[in-house]
Amino acid sequence: MSDHGQQRVFITGASGFIGRTLAAHYRSEGWNVTGVDAVASEDGAVVAGDIATPGPWQDHVDGAQLVIHTAAVVSNTASRDRCWEVNVLGTRRASTRPPDGEMPTRWFRRMSSLVPSMI
């Protein structure tokens, strides 16, 4: 286990397959892991939110040295509008702060999935 002190990582899509795997990795390295997903976790580490919509979930990014953006709509049944809202607008919201704040992180990493039928 590495000593990362109070370093914190914030993960969008934190309850998804990739998000859960990354969260477990960072916890094993001693990081404080928080995130956002459609449903909050019982321990409060993951808050409920829709990254396509500005909201209180954005406040939980504060103090994170790293943001890993894994949230996405990867579905052949989702509408083009919903895919755009989450995959494009959600990425913008995850990587920026509201007008009254500033991006407090040092690093932003984005995971991407390409679904050819949506192009």
Domains and CATH numbers, the chain: 8-112 (3.40.50.720)
Give which of 42, 25, 44 is closest to 34, Cα–Cα: 44
Per-residue model confidence as pLDDT tens digits over 104-119 = 546 666 666 554 444 4
How many residues in total does the chain contain? 119
Question: What is the C-alpha to C-alpha distance for residues 56 and 26, in angstroms, rounded to an integer?
Answer: 24
pTM of the entire structure? 0.80
Per-residue model confidence as pLDDT tens digits over 50-72 = 999 988 998 888 888 888 888 88
Two structure tokens written together for 16: 């998804």
Dihedral (CA of 35, 41, 44, 47) sign: positive
